[in-house]
Amino acid sequence: MARHLLLTGASGTLGRMLAPRLVKRGYQVRLSDINPFPDPVPEGATFVQADLADEGAVQRLVEGTDAIVHLGGISVEKPFRPIIEANILGLTHVFEAARAEKQRIVFASSNHTIGFYERGETLSTKDLVQPDGYYGLSKAYAEMLGRMMFDKHGLESVHMRIGSCLPKPTEARHLSTWLSHDDLERLIIAAVEADKTGHAVVWGVSANSRSWWKEDDAERIGYRPQDNAETFAPLPEEGDAITRRFQGGSFTAQDYTRDD
C-alpha cells in the first residue's frame, strides 16, 4: 500500500478539496504547486512550491514518495505556449521523475481528449481521441506518454478522463459528465491502491444514468462510483449551438471557425 503521496496542482480547486481528504485517509502527503497553498496546510502534509517546467525541482519533488497524483497544469483552453510549458514539458518531467523513482502516476486527464464527439454518442476509452483544443490535445499526449512509458519501461499510470468534477451538477451537460467529489476520491484511492494497473484509462465520471462513457479500465482497478447526477435533474441547457452539440461543451465552441 502506498503511504506517502505527492499531490501536484494542490493549490487548485480539486487539489484543495483533496488534500485534507487524503490526509484523513491516513496518507502522508507532499503538496506542490507553482502558487502558494491558500489554506492552512493540513496536519500530516507538507507543501513545496515548484514549477513543473523546472526539471530539477520536479525530480526533488518525487524523491521519497510512493505514488504521484498529478493534477498540476493548465486546466482550461489556452494558447499552445503556456499549454506546452505546463502540460507537455512539465508533465514529461513528472513521468521521467516517476520512471527514475519507480512510482505509479495517477493523472488528471480530461473529457476534452474526446470533446468533438457529438452528444449522445456512447464511447469507449479505446475510441480514437478527438481533442477539442490544445488543452485536450495535451491530455491526449499524456495518455499516450503513459502508454509508451508502460510498454517500454513498465511504468504504471492511471489516466482519469475527468468529466466535470463539481460539488453538484449545474447544467444539462453535467447530467452526463458529472463526477462528484466523493467519487473522485474513490477513483484516486482505487488507482493508488490497486495491486497492478499497467496503463489504465478510466472515465472520471459518477454513475450517471445519462453517461456517454462506458467501457474503460474502471473494474480492473476497482473503481466503483456511487453518485448519480440524475438526482439533480432536470437542469437547464447552456451556451450556443456548438456548445450544445458536442460532448466537450463550451471548450468546443471556443475559437470555432467552421461554417459547415
Instruction: Name which of 12 and 146 has its Cβ closer to ligand 15L.
Output: 12
Which residue out of 135, 141, 223, 256 is catalytically annotated? 135
Q: Which amino acid is at 33?
A: D
- The answer to whether residue 164 forms part of the interface with ligand 15L (CB under 6 A) is yes
Q: By C-beta, is 79 or 154 nearer to ligand NAI?
A: 79
The answer to whether 243 contacts ligand 15L (rule: CB under 6 A) is no
Residue 110 sits in the site that holds ligand 15L (CB under 6 A): yes
Assess contact for 4 and 64: CB atoms under 8 A: yes
Reduce the DSSP state of residue 63 to 3 states and report it: coil
Point out which residues bind ligand NAI (CB under 6 A).
9, 11-15, 33-35, 51-53, 71-75, 86, 90, 108, 110, 162, 164-165
| Comparison of 23 and 187: residue with beta carbon closer to ligand NAI | 187
In this chain, which of 11, 65, 87, 111 binds ligand 15L, going by CB under 6 A? 111
- Alpha carbons 125 and 213: distance in angstroms, whole number: 8
**73 interacts with, out of ligand 15L, ligand NAI, none, CB within 5 to 8 A per kind:** ligand NAI
Where would I find the beta strands (DSSP E) of the chain?
4-8, 28-33, 45-49, 67-70, 104-110, 157-162, 164-165, 178-179, 199-204
CA 23 from chain centre, in angstroms, equals 19
Sign of CA dihedral 8, 13, 16, 20: negative
Position with the least CB separation from ligand NAI: 12
Give the residue nearest to ligand 15L (CB).
164
CA angle 25, 50, 99 (to 5 degrees): 70
Residue 112 in contact with ligand 15L, rule: CB under 6 A? yes
Q: Is 223 a catalytic residue?
A: no
180 belongs to the binding site for ligand 15L (CB under 6 A): no
CB distance 224 to 193 below 8 Å: no
User: Which partner from the list ligand NAI, ligand 15L, none does 131 bind, CB cut-off 5 to 8 Å by kind?
Assistant: none
Q: What is the dihedral of CA 237, 240, 243, 244, to 10 degrees?
A: 50
In the bound complex, what is the minimum distance in angstroms from residue 254's beta carbon to ligand 15L? Answer: 11
Of 8, 11, 75, 206, which one interacts with ligand 15L (CB under 6 A)? 75
Q: Which is nearer to ligand 15L, 94 or 114 (CB)?
A: 114
Q: Is 252 in the site for ligand 15L (CB under 6 A)?
A: no
Terminal alpha carbon distance of the chain: 53
Element spanning 140, H or E: helix 134-153
Kindly list the catalytic residues: 135
